[in-house]
Amino acid sequence: MSPNNHPGQLAGTHWDPSQYLKFSDHRLRPALELLERVPLASPAIIYDLGCGSGQVTRLIAQRWPSAQVYGVDNSKEMLAQAAAEPSRVHWIEADIRAWSPAKPPDLIYSNATLQWIEDHAQLFPRLASYLKPGGCLAVQMPLNWEAASHRLMRETLENGAPGGGRLGSQALRQALARKWVENAQTYYDLLVGYTTSLDIWETEYLQVLEGEDAVLEWVKGTGLRPVLNELDDTQREIYLAEYTRRLRQAYPVRPDGKTLYPFRRLFIVAAV
């Protein structure tokens, strides 16, 4: 799912649906596990925030066939791909930071999107406040800020140029340095006053990836997009060469040709 941040900030506006969907089986699994934990029998109005190409949104519509289902994203590329497949989902181009539902929904669902948006202390209570009584906020976010892939992403911007110099703008380096997702206890404290029940858990997936430079190909579809969008052609080539070298050391190809990529995720299901 693409980030719904301001175009001038972290990720820019260009997202590549085909790159994102290269590992669609791994990306789909946590989305489905989150969906299975939603404790609603027959929600009438559902919003999928950060719907991307609409794969999960269409599954939501299939699970609750009588519901009005809306997919919200700020990426024209993703929404174009979503709309290309016939469905009864309504697709909406919007920035989540400024978005509000036309009617109070029963379910706000968001898979791997809200990490792109700053000020969670304001965002999460605001989303919960939109729900109908008895409604549910269901969110999944990656917990990979401390993973080698993302640490090296930041370090390569800081010292990946020839001679150990910096790459990219200070704004880009500061944006990537921000811890995108807090710990589980923080979200409990943010939401407990707005909810009747609150289920928060973490899962680490040992993702078995195939292909050359598999971890690089994974992050190209998500976390690396801000870097790829901002750097000019020369700096992008320098960055990718050095970042690829570092990733190969951190995530070596196994004897069977596969690459193991541990990946932690945070899940939140909050009923109001």
Between CA 145 and CA 171 the distance in angstroms is 18
pLDDT in tens, 162-205: 999 999 999 999 989 988 999 999 999 999 999 999 999 999 99
pLDDT value for 24: 53
pLDDT value for 3: 42
Handedness of CA 30, 118, 73, 97 (dihedral sign): positive
Long-range contacts of 235-243 (CB under 8 A, 24+ apart): 235/161, 235/167, 235/168, 238/160, 238/161, 238/162, 238/167, 239/156, 239/157, 239/160, 239/167, 239/168, 240/216, 242/156, 242/160, 243/152, 243/153, 243/156, 243/160, 243/216
* Pure H helices in the chain: 17-20, 24-36, 55-63, 76-84, 120-130, 148-159, 170-177, 184-191, 214-220, 225-230, 233-250
pLDDT value for 221: 83
Q: Which two tokens stand for residue 123?
A: 């965002």
Strands 45-49 and 90-93: unpaired
In the predicted model, residues of the chain with pLDDT beneath 50 are 1-23
Architecture of the structural domain at 17-271: 3-Layer(aba) Sandwich (3.40)
Beta carbons within 8 Å of 45's beta carbon, 6+ residues apart: 67, 68, 70, 101, 103, 104, 105, 106, 107, 132
Domain boundaries along the sequence of the chain? 17-271
Q: How far does the chain reach from its first CA to its final CA, in angstroms?
A: 25
